[in-house]
Structures are given as C-alpha cells and as structure tokens.
Amino acid sequence: MNKWVLLVASLLCTIPSAWADLGVNIKSLALSPALKGGESQSAFTIQTTGDGYLLCLDYTVNCGGVTTSKSLDLFSLSETTDGTYTIPFSYSVPTTAGRYPTTVKITGINYGGVVGTTLQMSGSTTTVERQAPRYTLVEEFTGTGCGNCPRGWLGMQRVKEQASDKAGVIAIHQYNGNDPMYVANYWTPSFTGAPACWLDRSLYPDPLEGTNEEGILTTLKRHNEQCLPTVATTITASYSADGNSVEIASSTEFLTDGTGYTIAYALTADGLTGSETKWKQTNYYNDNSAWMLDLLYPGLGMEIFGKGGKYGTDPVQLVYDDVLIGSTWTKQGTAWVSSVAFTSPRQAGTTQHNTGRVMLPTSTSLRAALDLQRIYATVIVLDEQGHVANAARCRVEEPTHIATPSHTLAATTSAAYDLLGRTLHSDSKRHSGILLQQGRKLIVR
C-alpha cells in the first residue's frame, strides 16, 4: 500500500467521531503450542460491528502470569462481506514446559478505545521442552462415487509430490459403500461432504485450494511453521510371518506434561487401480473446458479433468495413492477405541514404546490390487483436544533379519538402544518396549 495512503489512514484513526460506531467482538481463539520461554504464534477470529474500517488493534495476553501487550497494524487487511476476520497474533509464554491458562483481551482499535460485548476470551497454551519436527497428518474424505472428488485427488497428489517430507496423506474412501477401497475400521473425522480435508484434525482447508484459495501447499506450509508438535515420534513396521498383517512399533517422546494423549496406527497403500467400473472415479468436471477450469482454479491444474484433458472422461480411471487399508481403531458402542494405548504417567522428557498389529484387507479385489512394496504405516498421536500432536510414517518392510554379531563384538558390548537410537543401561531387562541389543530386536515387557 502507498505510504501516503497509510499516513492519511493513520490520521483518520485519530478522529474519534469518524469511528465512533465501529466495535469488535472476539468469536474464537486458536492458541498454538510454543517452545518454553518463547512466543506462541496464534490467531483469533473477530467480528466487527457498526460502520468504519478496522485499521489497527491493541491487545493484551496473560499466559500463566506472563503478560504481553502489543499493537497490530491491519492496513492490509482485506475487507470481508460479514465483517469477520481471522488475525494472527503472538504472545510470550512461561519458561517451563506445561499447560497454562491464557486470557486474550482486546484493549483498543484504531488508536482509541473499543466497544463490544465479547472483548475477552480464555483458553490454554501448551509449552514444550524442545522443538521437534512436525509431520502433519492430512486426512482426505473421498470416494469413487463422488463427482467432485477429482479435485481432492489432485490436491493430495500435489501434497505427495511436493511435501511428502513434511506431511502424510490418509485417503479415507468412505463416501460410497460400493467403493472397492472402502474400509470401515477408521475413526473418521466429522466430514460433512466430499471432497474434504483435515490438517492434524484442527484445520479444515479445501483439499486443493487450501484456505482462502491460496492453494493447499501454501496452507500446509504455514500450518507446519506455526503449529509446534507436543510429542516426537518414530515408527518401524514389517509384515508378519504369515503375510496377513503388519507388526508396528513406535517410540513417543512427550515434550510436555499431559494425560489425554492417545495413539493409533494406520496402514495406507499406493498405486491402487483396477479396470472394472467400480474402480473408476466419477468426474463432474469433464463437461468443462480447460480455460473454464483454469479460470475457476487458477494455476492448480484442474484442466486435466476437463474436455480434452488427460483425465477428461466420466468416469475416469485413476491410480490412487495413500489409500487407507486398515487401522488399530474399532468402534465399541458409540466410541472409537484403538488397540494401542499409552500408559501413565505422560510427563515431559519421558518416552513410551508401543507395539501393535494391523490386519491387511480381506476383500478379494482390494487385496489383489495391493503392491506389498508400496504399503506404509503411520503412527498418529492425538492430544486431549483430539488434535494430532504429531505423526510419523514408514514403509512396511519384510521381516527384519539382523546378522548374529561376531564373538569380538559380543564380548565387548552389551549396550541396549531404544528406537530413537539412544543408549540405555547395559542391562536391557531394566527397560520395557522395543529395544536393540547386540544386533537383535528385543521386546521387553
């Protein structure tokens, strides 16, 4: 924006009568975890009332006794039709890991006072011991019978091709029951339509356009940068001896105290396709010209599903990646329960080891489509709010056979290591979980 425009706007803000009718209310808070002693990069959603433009805002935050007061310049804020804005803000957090009550209060707008019925709102902020890499879980609700789902297929392909080191997709084919990739045993998020997308079970962008039509990759990048994980987790997986299931082991380090964490495992498959009609994807975009689809979805590649495009038929034969084929979740009554669970306590700096088994599909057509070299296991750790604290993924390997160590090695070392590669006490019996000792994988209970 031109500096003279900013100057005029600033001067107008100093005239109280020009903004006397403008008020604000806080609608919601999204408080993000932060490194202890650092700053939380969070956001609040507000709604303006009355007449005028919101050009600046003052706020205070009290997080566990640590007070922050700041001003935000909002000159570049785009006007909305309903006066609702989501505004990023930051505040300081305590110097120890934990969970702290947090109160946010708007104290002024446009360099003056403020009126509103909800100027204050409270929540909680989690602080962590250290900054661990985040691996975002991207869950997509889809199905072969969904005519708009080619849009989701394309968005998830973009995530896979350009952000696989930062995020993992689970494509949940539960839209239509005759989908050959339909799998029931998965705790499905509360999707209201398809295609739909959930990032870490806390953000709901469009699976292709992302938030505010910025593109799913831009939304994903910002989410990864702002949302600090509260656990660090690793995973290994191999096929069972009979080849009918996958044996999974994980280690989870808690970066803050908490009692509400839960854990689950899921299997996904790449490269699924079939020549039968039931494998083909319904495509509502095939009647649209390439230029129309590029106008509707600029720069996002949707023209491939239109007239003359690579996939411009209805239905269209696709190759499906990241398809859910099983999990440790089962429904018991009205509740979803995972066969894997953490034990107490879950304190900052401690690590828990878990093992579990996920059965491969028994459906003849789905089982026949599987390439056992392209099956992946994902560990999902949820916090007490039901958000994904962190996740990790690995390819399922053949059963591990570690060579017997030489007598020289056996005589000189008996150290044990956990799955994070850390040396434990020389006596592995003092520890529980999945350990490596003298070249062998041990399960100590």
**For residues 45-66, b (16+ Cβ closer than 10 Å) or e, as one string?**
ebbbeeebbbbbbbbebbbbeb
**Considering only 92-101, 176-185, 314-323, 419-428, which range has the smallest mean pLDDT?**
419-428
**What SS3 string covers 340-356?**
CCCCCCCCCCCEEEEEE
Alpha helix (H) ranges present in 110-205?
149-163
Helix (H) or strand (E) holding 407: helix 407-412
Per the prediction, the chain carries an average pLDDT of 85
For the chain, how big is the Rg over CA atoms in Å? 26
Both structure tokens of 137: 């879980």
pLDDT tens-digit series, residues 235-247: 999 999 999 999 9
- Give the confidence band of 415 by pLDDT, cuts at 50, 70, 90: low
Q: Are the CB atoms for 237 and 441 separated by under 8 Å? A: no
The runs of H, that is alpha helices, within 142-296 are 149-163, 216-226, 290-296
Q: Select the more confidently predicted residue: 403 or 93.
A: 93
pLDDT band at 336 (very low <50, low <70, confident <90, very high): very high
Q: What is the pLDDT of residue 22?
A: 85
The SS3 call for residue 3 is helix
Mean pLDDT on 295-318: 95
pLDDT digits (tens, 9 = 90+) for 190-217: 788 899 999 999 888 999 999 878 899 9
What CA–CA distance (Å, rounded) separates 132 from 234? 12
pLDDT at 423 > cutoff 50:
no
pLDDT band at 10 (very low <50, low <70, confident <90, very high): low
pLDDT tens sequence across 122-142: 999 989 988 899 999 999 999
Domains of the chain: 3-128 (2.60.40.10), 136-281+317-395 (2.60.40.10), 407-444 (no CATH)
Is the CA virtual torsion 135, 250, 320, 201 positive or negative?
A: negative
Q: 152 falls in which pLDDT band (50, 70, 90)? A: very high
Contact (Cβ atoms closer than 8 angstroms) between residue 93 and residue 37: yes
Instruction: Count the neighbouring beta carbons within 10 Å of the beta carbon of residue 236.
Output: 21
- CA 179 to CA 315: how far, in whole Å? 13
- Closest alpha carbon to 109 in 85, 144, 81, 135: 85
Band of residue 340 on the pLDDT scale cut at 50, 70, 90: very high
Which residues partner with 122 through β-bridges?
103
At residue 33, what are phi and psi to the nearest 5 degrees? -60, 155
What is the pLDDT at residue 413? 40
